[in-house]
Amino acid sequence: MPQVSMTVNGKPATGDVEGRTLLVQFLRDTLHLTGTHVGCDTSQCGACLVHVDGEAIKACSIFALEVEGAEVTTIEGMANADGSLNTIQQAFQDHHGLQCGFCTPGMVMSAAALLKENPKPSETEIRDYLQGNICRCTGYHNIVKAILAASGQETAIAAE
Amino acid sequence: MYAFEFERPGSLDAAVKALQEEDAQALGGGQTLIPTLKQRLAMPSKLVSLKGIAELQGIAQEGDVLKVGGGSTHGAVARETKGIFAGLSLMASKIGDPAVRNRGTMGGSLANNDPAACYPAALMATRGTVVTNTREIAAEEYFQGLFTTALEEGEIITSIRFPLPEKSNYQKFEQPASRFPLVGVFVAKYGDRVGVGVTGASEDGVFAWKEAEEALAGNFAPEAVDDLWVSAEGMMSDLHGTAEYRAHLVKVMTKRAVAAAE
Ligand SMILES: Cc1cc2nc3c(=O)[nH]c(=O)nc-3n(C[C@H](O)[C@H](O)[C@H](O)COP(=O)(O)OP(=O)(O)OC[C@H]3O[C@@H](n4cnc5c(N)ncnc54)[C@H](O)[C@@H]3O)c2cc1C
Ligand code: FES
Ligand code: FES
């Protein structure tokens, strides 16, 4: 079986995988990092979103062997060094940006990628960026508010 | 998924060689192929990843032509063609979602030739050229119907060449669940001609709407197509839209694209 090596949340990670092993399977089944969720497994929902070399990637739609040598960040790598929630995570809590929480890891990873690209996104830009992240619970309003708050902006949004 | 071997060659030559093996298949961004494999609709013995091949990268203007490496992601196309080719940049920026755009490639999309894929409309409107490891194929010969192209087994799209228009625009009437276009129209205006490429509509895949091209060449204004009529015959029909609805959208999207062209 081929071996794969990558850096996950700053730590080296190595394991045996098959050609068909998806990154999300390697993260969850081999590394036991179960914060990265599988919602659809058909590339639609974004619950599996992680960062690979800083870019937002759906971990259900990339093979582990494609990530050889890369730096991966998952939701487990997002908290502050002292274990407290980072700004985006805290904003999701403060603004009730989650209900069941299933989509939340993907939402937080997506939001982090957005804010890196665009530190003060408008409401429209946030909604546009989150097109690939599906939430069955919140109706998105509070997710958008949380991201506005995390970027230091007013959280008043237009009712839709 | 059925089991397969995975290989990531570092050069085009090595990839061409790896693809000569029986049932070997190229892997671009995997945004179409991986879901297909999950449904067990394909059974390659080996996947040959094209991601590590420098020859497939790079987006550059060469005189009045834009050359896009076959391995360029939609995200790279969106960013790097802004200011050079507005319509193509806009098109790429609306494909799927940010994560799909970070992986999916132009070569993969054109090789797949989904009847609702975006890039075929741009390639058809510009009468661009698909460049492979062995030859150059003009847009009109390249597309051969749903999911069918002129590519031979194991042939790799190395780059795509678009004659740069003076003005261009893409109008995508989005099907919100899949984020693919229900109908998409690309308009490209040149000094002596206008190209109109239509995707998502016809049962035969992408096509050039020639009557509109002629009318717009004489008068590049939305009203120029007012008297034209798109037949519903041969249009796709499904729960998202009837053939008549799609035929109607072709005209509406064309007018919008002309009005917005820059
Ligand atoms: C949620 C979602 C939304 C999407 N929305 C849109 C949309 O709005 N518009 C749109 O156009 N597309 C859309 N797509 C499809 C997306 O653009 C894919 O990236 C694209 O169709 C395939 O490109 P790929 O690089 O991922 O190819 P892959 O999936 O890796 O491969 C597809 C096919 O092309 C072959 N191939 C790959 N690269 C090459 C090459 N260089 N030369 C020869 N053959 C090659 C493969 O062998 C395979 O047969 C969407 C996809 C998803 C998951
Ligand atoms: S599980 Fe990956 S997109 Fe839904
Ligand atoms: S909080 Fe339940 S799916 Fe989003």
Burial category of B33 from C-beta neighbours within 10 Å (exposed 0-12, middle 13-18, buried 19 and up): buried
Q: Which of B2, B8, B96 sits opposite A132 (nearest CB)?
A: B96
Per-residue confidence at A138, pLDDT binned at 50, 70, 90?
A: confident
As a whole number, mean pLDDT of residues A142-149 equals 97
Which domain covers residue A27, as residue numbers? 3-77
For residue B43, the chain A residue with the least C-alpha distance is A20
| CATH code for the domain of B9 | 3.30.43.10
Contact between A20 and B4 using a beta-carbon 8 Å cutoff: yes
pLDDT surpasses 60 at A160: no
Size of interface A-B (CB pairs under 8 A): 75
User: Does residue A9 sit in the same domain as residue A73?
Assistant: yes
Listed residues A43, A77, A111: the one ending a domain = A77
The rounded percent of chain B whose pLDDT value lies above 90 is 98
Do B171 and B101 lie in a common domain? no
Q: Is residue B121 part of a domain?
A: no
Asked if residue A159 belongs to a domain, the reply is no
Last residue of a domain, one of A59, A77, A95: A77
Query: Which among A52, A62, A125 is the top mutation candidate for probing chain B, defined by the most B β-carbons within 10 Å of its own β-carbon?
Result: A62
Given this model, what pLDDT does residue B176 score? Answer: 83
Give the pLDDT of residue B49.
98
Range of the domain at B171: 167-260
Nearest partner of A46 among B101, B215, B123, B161, judged by Cα: B101
Please check whether residues B145 and B171 belong to one and the same domain: no
Q: What is the mean pLDDT of residues B163-187?
A: 94
* Set of chain A residues whose Cβ sits within 8 Å of the Cβ of B4: 19-20
At B188, which amino acid appears? Answer: A
Ligand 1: residue of B77, B112, B158, B178 to mutate (most ligand atoms within 8 A of CB) is B112
CATH code assigned at B103: 3.30.465.10
Residue B154 Rama label (left phi>0; alpha psi -120 to 50; beta): left
User: Which of A5, A18, A36, A63 to mutate to test binding with chain B, by most B CBs within 10 Å of its CB?
Assistant: A63
State the distance from the centre of ligand 1 to the C-alpha of B65, rounded, in angstroms: 24
Task: Judge whether B196 lies within some domain.
Answer: yes
Tell me the HSE value of A23 on the side-chain side, using a 13 A CA sphere. Answer: 30
Co-location of B68 and B43 in the same domain: no
Q: If you average pLDDT over residues A27-51, what whole number do you get?
A: 97
Q: How many domains does chain B have?
A: 3
Same domain? For B174 and B256 the reply is: yes
Nearest partner of A107 among A156, A61, A39, judged by Cα:
A39
Other Cβ atoms closer than 10 A to B199: 32
Nearest-atom number in ligand 3 for the CA of A99 is: 1
Q: Are B96 and A133 in contact (CB under 8 A)?
A: no
Answer yes or no: do A22 and A63 share one domain.
Answer: yes
- Please indicate, yes or no, whether residues A33 and A97 belong to a single structural domain of this protein: no
Query: Is residue B187 a part of any domain in this protein?
Result: yes
Same domain, B29 and B70: no
B61 plus B148 within the same structural domain = yes
Band of residue A145 on the pLDDT scale cut at 50, 70, 90: very high
**A94 in the same domain as A73:** no
- B171 found inside a domain: yes
Q: pLDDT value at position B226?
A: 96
pLDDT in tens, B82-103: 999 999 999 999 999 999 999 9
State whether A19 and B5 contact (CB < 8 Å).
Answer: yes
Q: Which amino acid is at A81?
A: A
Average pLDDT score over residue span B246-254? 98
Site to substitute for ligand 2 among A43, A103, A134, most atoms within 8 A of C-beta? A43
pLDDT confidence tier of residue B123, bands split at 50, 70 and 90: very high
Q: Same domain for A60 and A102?
A: no
- Using the structure block, give the residue that is written with the tokens 């013995």: B45
Residue B147 lies in a domain: yes
Same structural domain, A58 and A8? yes
- In this predicted structure, the answer to whether residue A157 has a pLDDT above a threshold of 80 is no
Q: Residue A7 belongs to a domain with what CATH number?
A: 3.10.20.30
Domain shared by A13 and A67, yes or no:
yes
| pLDDT (average), residues B34-46 | 95
* Token code pair at residue B31: 């945004």
Note the pLDDT of residue B178.
84
Q: Are residues B158 and B172 in the same domain?
A: no
| A91 and A71 in a common domain | no
Phi and psi angles of residue B216, each rounded to the nearest 5 degrees, phi first: -75, -25
* Cβ <8 Å between A62 and B98: no
The per-residue pLDDT for range B182-212, each reduced to its tens digit, is 999 999 999 999 999 999 999 999 999 999 9
Q: Is residue B252 part of a domain?
A: yes
Report d(CA B16, CA B140) in Å as an integer.
Answer: 25
DSSP per-residue codes, B126-167: HT-EEEESS-EEEHHHHB-STT-BSPPTT--EEEEEEEPPSE
Q: Is A57's C-beta closer than 6 angstroms to any atom of ligand 2?
A: no
| Tens of pLDDT, residues B128-151 | 999 999 999 999 999 999 999 999
**pLDDT at residue A11 in the model:** 97
Q: Is the pLDDT of residue A159 over 70?
A: no
What is the model's pLDDT at position A155?
Answer: 86
Residues A23 and A73 grouped into a single domain: yes
User: Is B231 found in the same domain as B179?
Assistant: yes
- The pLDDT tens digits for A84-128 are 999 999 999 999 999 999 999 999 999 999 999 999 999 999 999
CA B260 to chain centre: 20
Among candidates A41, A43, A63 on the partner chain, residue whose Cβ is nearest the Cβ of B31: A43
Q: Are residues B83 and B44 in the same domain?
A: no
Last residue of a domain, one of A49, A77, A105: A77
Alpha-carbon distances, residue A27 vs B33, B72, B239 (angstroms): 21, 27, 38
Helices (H), chain B: 12-18, 33-38, 74-80, 86-93, 98-103, 106-112, 119-126, 139-142, 210-218, 243-260
Backbone angles phi, psi at B18, to 5 degrees: -60, -35
Tell me the CATH number at A116.
1.10.150.120
- In a domain? residue B139: yes
- Whether residues A67 and A117 share a domain: the answer is no
Integer Cα distance of B69 and B65 in angstroms: 13
B5, B30, B98 member nearest A132 (Cβ): B98
Asked if B60 and B99 sit in the same domain, the reply is yes
A49 and A107 together in one domain: no
| A111 secondary structure, DSSP code | H
* pLDDT band of A1, cuts 50, 70, 90: confident
Instruction: Tell me which chain B residue has its CA closest to the CA of residue A52.
Output: B102
Q: Which atom of ligand 1 is nearest to the CA of B26?
A: 47
Position A144 scores a pLDDT of: 97
> What is the residue-averaged pLDDT of chain B?
97
User: For residue B82, what is the DSSP state?
Assistant: T
Q: What is the CA radius of gyration of chain B?
A: 18
Among B25, B31, B32, B34, the residue to mutate for chain A (most A Cβ within 10 A): B34
Tokens of B7: 């290989």
Q: How many domains, in total, are found in chain A?
A: 2
Do residue B131 and residue B174 come from a single domain?
A: no
pTM of the entire predicted model: 0.96
Q: Does residue B120 form part of some domain?
A: no
Cα–Cα distance between B205 and B199 in angstroms, integer? 7
Is residue A18 located within the same domain as residue A71?
A: yes
Closest atom, ligand 3, to C-alpha of A39: 3
Residues B158 and B74 in one domain: yes
**pLDDT grade for A13, boundaries at 50, 70 and 90:** very high
Beta bridge partners of residue B185, listed in sequence order: B171, B198
> Tell me, what's the pLDDT at A156?
79
Which tokens sit at B69? 């490496």
